[in-house]
């Protein structure tokens, strides 16, 4: 048996190169774990039937001396990222039976790198949620405590890596959907700079907010995946060129900014204690901790929950029973639309479509949407000023609490939305952010993972990786 618990991408690559085990044997080990644990965890919606065939092709390449570090590495993929010839449904009944006709750019790049796709991972429907409880196919459970959520919306991807059902995974992050489940499941989660990774082939939720990124066991693994999937793409006009990336050398001493005014009310005491311990770890690496002010950061959650539903109401208009997926027939075309959308969209999707349509409607557009867009710029300007003052990264906890119990917040959407308080700022500003495992909070007989979040200036993922690696070593 291969020790999947301690395996990283780098270690697996070395073992595969040396012939300690084959890509097929590695895939078989993951498939055995999936068979054993997935019925309870519900991390995967589907395991692909050709996994061993993919592994065999990787072994051939390895035998011939080809391929890079991702050759033969088994991945889980979130159910809103298209793989040609595979089902993709964003965990929604409205896309039941839809089969992708092309590869997402990130999938194309990983295929070229020789990665193996194990299956499609569960998620909140159309990425709307912070717990994967909004999936039409049941909640994903947290591998550290199966009575608790794995986070969302990339909860299936996070649970798969945390439970050794995949070595790495792809997720998407619109307001924290990679970083929050990474924190809840004890993983590294990276939300890249807006435009660093192509969104072509990602089912759109909030087009000015969405980014695809990796969930992995270590900062080094996240860096490997990011470098494989990043880059300009003619199919996504928002992608940025290599010229955007800084060629500046990394500083010898990092300055970490802490917005202490933002770390008060509503944050779990254990989370704050863990965060302070994390700052001390950074000081041990030689970093300077500096208190900073972000005057408009307190508006980030309301801004996010106006802009995001507005973009959802536009993006989800295409799912109407005509163009894609399932359909419920009525007496006429209007009834077709109403029955299909009313019965096949889940409650949270309906809630956000209605809110989004409201804030974009005549008479409310200026009062809500336009004002939110203006405040979004103020928040982004605050971050620019802090980085211009000599701060290299901004630190906060990733989440205000450890993973909560399944069902604990489903009856109160506002409580659920507050789980995104620290993560939404990176999506509003377009900045890169990473969540790094920072320890545990004890809960009765379980140890619940906690995450430490760092945000860096635009296109400075290198700063996050460098600080993150130092953080891991202490």
The domain ranges of the chain are 9-244
Half-sphere exposure of 158 (CA within 13 A, CB side): 39
Could you tell me which residues are beta bridge partners of residue 414? none
Tokens of 192: 């890249």
Per-residue pLDDT, 223: 98
Q: Which positions of the chain have pLDDT values less than 70?
A: none
* CA of residue 125 relative to chain centroid, distance: 14
Give the helix/strand (H/E) hosting 359.
helix 347-359
User: Positive or negative CA dihedral for 90, 353, 207, 225?
Assistant: negative
78 in catalytic set = yes
- Annotated catalytic residue, options 92, 130, 135, 177: 177
Whole-angstrom CA distances from 101 to 49, 82, 84, 87, 410 are: 18, 8, 5, 10, 35
Are residues 420 and 175 in contact, defined by beta-carbon separation less than 8 angstroms? Answer: yes
Tokens of 431: 């900045």
Listed residue (150, 144, 136) closest to 76, CA to CA: 150
Are residues 255 and 287 in contact, defined by beta-carbon separation less than 8 angstroms? Answer: yes
Per-residue pLDDT, 245: 86
Distance CA(200)–CA(341), nearest Å, equals 25
Distance CA(268)–CA(262), nearest Å, equals 13
136 in catalytic set = no
Distance CA(100)–CA(85), nearest Å, equals 5
Are residues 56 and 24 in contact, defined by beta-carbon separation less than 8 angstroms? Answer: yes
CATH 3.90.1300.10 assigned to 9-244: yes
DSSP secondary structure of 42-79: --EEEE-TTHHHHHHHHHHHHHTT---TTTT-EEEEET
- Annotated catalytic residue, options 37, 78, 217, 409: 78
Are residues 459 and 246 in contact, defined by beta-carbon separation less than 8 angstroms? Answer: yes
Distance CA(261)–CA(56), nearest Å, equals 54
Per-residue pLDDT, 249: 87
Distance CA(175)–CA(128), nearest Å, equals 10
- E strand spans, 414-465: 433-443, 446-455
Per-residue pLDDT, 68: 94
Distance CA(208)–CA(236), nearest Å, equals 12
Give the helix/strand (H/E) hosting 36.
helix 23-41
Distance CA(78)–CA(194), nearest Å, equals 19
> Any alpha helices (H) in 100-233, and if so which ranges?
105-113, 155-162, 179-185, 219-229
Per-residue pLDDT, 157: 98
Residue that is written with structure tokens 């939404």 in the block: 424
- Annotated catalytic residue, options 22, 92, 130, 153: 153
Per-residue pLDDT, 287: 98
Give the helix/strand (H/E) hosting 387.
helix 371-388
Give the helix/strand (H/E) hosting 273.
helix 269-284
Are residues 383 and 406 in contact, defined by beta-carbon separation less than 8 angstroms? Answer: no
Distance CA(271)–CA(406), nearest Å, equals 20
Distance CA(343)–CA(94), nearest Å, equals 9
CA angle 428/432/438 to nearest 5° reads 110
446 burial type by CB count under 10 A (0-12 exposed, 13-18 middle, 19+ buried): middle
Per-residue pLDDT, 69: 97
Report the Cα–Cα distance between both ends of the chain, in Å, rounded: 30
């Amino acid at each position: 048996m291969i020790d999947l618990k301690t395996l990283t991408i780098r270690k697996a690559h070395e073992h595969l190169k040396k012939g300690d085990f084959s890509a097929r044997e590695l895939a078989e080990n993951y498939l055995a774990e999936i068979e054993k644990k997935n019925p309870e965890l519900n991390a995967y919606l589907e395991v692909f039937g050709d996994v061993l065939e993919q592994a065999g092709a990787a072994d051939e390449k390895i035998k011939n001396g080809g391929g890079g570090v991702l050759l033969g590495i088994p991945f889980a993929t979130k159910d809103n990222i298209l793989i040609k010839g595979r089902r993709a449904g964003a965990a929604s009944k409205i896309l039941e039976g839809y089969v992708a006709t092309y590869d997402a750019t990130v999938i194309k790049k990983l295929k070229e790198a020789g990665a193996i796709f194990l299956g499609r991972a569960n998620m909140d429907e159309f990425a709307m949620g912070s717990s994967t409880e909004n999936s039409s196919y049941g909640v994903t459970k947290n591998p550290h405590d199966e009575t608790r959520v794995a986070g969302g919306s990339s909860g299936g991807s996070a649970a798969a890596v945390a439970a050794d059902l995949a070595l790495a995974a792809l997720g998407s992050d619109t307001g924290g959907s990679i970083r929050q489940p990474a924190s809840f499941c004890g993983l590294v989660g990276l939300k890249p700079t807006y435009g660093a990774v192509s969104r072509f082939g990602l089912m759109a939720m909030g087009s000015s907010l969405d980014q695809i990124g990796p969930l992995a066991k270590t900062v080094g693994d996240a860096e490997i995946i990011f470098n494989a999937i990043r880059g300009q793409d003619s199919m996504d006009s928002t992608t940025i060129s290599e010229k955007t990336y800084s060629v500046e050398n990394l500083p010898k001493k990092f300055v970490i900014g802490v917005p202490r005014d933002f770390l008060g009310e509503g944050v779990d005491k254990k989370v704050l204690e863990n965060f302070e311990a994390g700052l001390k770890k950074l000081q041990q690496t030689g970093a300077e901790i500096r208190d900073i002010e972000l005057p408009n950061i307190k508006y980030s959650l309301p801004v996010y929950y106006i802009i995001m539903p507005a973009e959802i109401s536009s993006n989800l208009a295409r799912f109407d029973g005509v163009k894609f997926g399932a359909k419920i027939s009525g007496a006429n075309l209007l009834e077709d639309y109403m029955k299909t959308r009313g019965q096949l969209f889940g409650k949270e999707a309906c809630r956000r479509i209605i809110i989004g349509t409201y804030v974009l409607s005549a008479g409310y557009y200026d009062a809500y949407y336009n004002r939110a867009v203006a405040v979004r710029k103020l928040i982004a300007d605050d971050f620019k000023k802090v980085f211009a003052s000599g701060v290299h990264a901004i630190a906060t906890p990733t989440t205000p609490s450890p993973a909560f119990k399944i069902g604990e917040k489903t009856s109160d959407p506002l409580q659920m939305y507050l789980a995104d308080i620290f993560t939404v700022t990176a999506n509003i500003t377009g900045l890169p952010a990473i969540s790094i495992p920072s320890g545990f909070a004890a809960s009765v007989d379980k140890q619940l993972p906690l995450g430490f979040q760092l945000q860096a200036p635009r296109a400075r993922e290198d700063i996050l990786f460098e600080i993150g690696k130092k953080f891991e070593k202490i």
